[in-house]
Every structure is written in C-alpha cells, then in structure tokens.
Amino acid sequence: MTDFLSTKATDKLNSQLNRLCVWLSSDPEYILEHCGDILSVNEYKKVIKQSSGSEQMRELLEIIIQKGEDTCQNFIDTLRKHQGHFPQLKQFFVTEAEVPGSSTPSMFADGSSVVSCREITNTTAKNISINIQTVSQPADSSLSGNIKPQADLTASGGGVICADKISGVHVDECINFSVSVNAPQENTGMVEDTQPPPEGPAVRKIKEHKVELINCLMGDVFILQCVHAKGILSPRQYGNLKHSSNPEQTVTNLIDLLMSKGEETCNQFLQILKDPDVDATYPQLKNIIK
C-alpha cells in the first residue's frame, strides 16, 4: 500500500518535481549557489556532473527529498526567497495564502486548452485514474501574439496545465495520470470545406508520441535551435517560439506547427531527433522514437 502526504514539504516537492525541473533549469547555477547549506561537497559534484540543466535540477531535488522534511522545508524557503528570479515559481506557491481572497488560484484556458485544479483528499481506493483531454488548435493560432487574460494558471493553444492536489490518499495499486491532445475534428457543416491532406507515417508517428515528446523536449530549448538551424521555421515563427516564457507551451506549439507543415517537414524533424547531439541532450528520446 502506498501512503501519500506523509509530510507536507516533502510531498509538495514530490508532487511538483517535474515542473520544478523545468522552471529551475532556466538558471541551474543560480539555484545551486543558494543551496550551500543544503548540499555536501560530494552531493554538489554529483549534481553538476549531470548532462543538462533539467537533469541537474532533477538530481538536486531527488537528493533534497531523500534528506527528509526539514531539508525539504529549508529548500522551499529558499525558493520563496528567490522566486523573483524564476517567475514561474509563482505557480508553485499559488495554492498557499498568497492568493488574495481565495484559497484557489485564478485560472484561464482558451477554447482548446485545459487547466485542471482538482483536489482529492482523505480517501482510500484500489486505483485512481485521472484523464485530461483537449483538442489542439491549428498551429499558428496560438502564436499570433494575442493578449491573454492575466491569471495564475493560463493555458492556451491546446496546452494542458495539471495543478491537481492529492493529499491523505491511500492507494492499493497505482495512480494513473494521462493527457490526450487530439487533432481538431473536421467541420462537416461547411459544403466548401477542403479535405486535409492524408497523414503520412511521419505525421502519425509524431502525433502518436506527441505528449511523450513534449514531456521530453520541454526540459531544454536546444531542440528549437536545431529545428531553426535546418531552415524549417521562418524567422517570425522562430521568434514567436523563442520568446515564449513557458517551455511546455513552446514545445507544444513547435510540434503543432511542424505537423501542420506536413509529411516532409515531419520527416525532417524525426531525422533531427536522431542527431547525436540531440540524442545526448534528450536521452529519453531513444525510448520514444524507435
């Protein structure tokens, strides 16, 4: 039997581990400089040996979590002091009393996106299964520069934000989280609708592994530079993607854009994913694209 939320700070880091890896990887050296009282010399060396910023942050967090509740709380206090350096950390603290007049964060999602902020508390179950489904927008619609409402949690362009909270839950077997990002359905009500070109094997392969690719590639913007270097993106498309503040949304928009360009572009993208430098930056790719 698995027991969740045995301690508050430890479980908070555990529940947000993947997001913290992405947010803190924007400047791993900065956060490591402020962990001098937390890490031993050997632990620090172990962290900086990792191959990328996101992997360094994952190693750091795993070490801190293993040290127990006091160390986890110490690290959270450090994050609170330096959240100005990492603006996305606001989402980490948004469930606390820092949201004026409300115990829940403000949320915004456009017509094809999802923000999930559910609470599951004090229950016992054999299994828990949570599925989030959304429909992707056409590629450039989320890159047009439209101003979106200010909210603590904002999802757009087929994006998904999962801020669900699980506490005091006992599960006998497993918890399953899944996200499905589906292609938009064809509008059959318009007589003059044009049929989309048939999907080739490269497009289908990327679509099949889209969620896995997003989770893998969002830890480092290197993939965006590689795609741009191959001349696949126009300067405007590259600029819009490069200046996005959300790595997950950047990769989502990139993959949507590539799929909209068709089979030849998707084939080029699959070849890029096999490049030795790309493979070294994203070791998980070999388990996704075979």
Q: Is the pLDDT of residue 149 over 60?
A: no
Please count the residues of the chain: 290
128-143 pLDDT, tens digit per residue, is 777 776 666 554 444 4
> What pTM does this model have?
0.35
The strand pair at 160-162 and 165-182 is best described as unpaired
Contact predicate 167/121, CB 8 Å: yes
What element of type H or E holds 93? helix 90-93
Alpha-carbon span 235 to 229, nearest angstrom: 11
Q: At what angle do helices 222-229 and 235-242 cross, to 10 degrees?
A: 180
- What are 33-40's contacts with CB under 8 Å, separation 24+? 34/78, 34/81, 34/82, 35/60, 35/75, 35/78, 37/74, 38/64, 38/67, 38/71, 38/74, 38/75, 38/78, 39/63
Alpha-carbon span 17 to 184, nearest angstrom: 31
pLDDT band at 241 (very low <50, low <70, confident <90, very high): confident
- Residues near 274 by beta carbon (within 8 Å), at least 6 away in sequence: 289
- According to DSSP, the residues that pair with 125 across neighbouring strands are 171
160-189 pLDDT, tens digit per residue, is 777 777 777 777 777 777 776 666 655 444
Domains contained in the chain, CATH given:
2-93 (1.10.533.10), 103-185 (no CATH), 199-290 (1.10.533.10)
Q: Is the pLDDT of residue 16 over 50?
A: yes
In 10 A of CB 270, how many CB atoms?
15
Angle at 276 between CA 275 and CA 280, to 5 degrees: 120
Per-residue model confidence (pLDDT) at position 31: 92
Q: Is the pLDDT of residue 144 over 70?
A: no
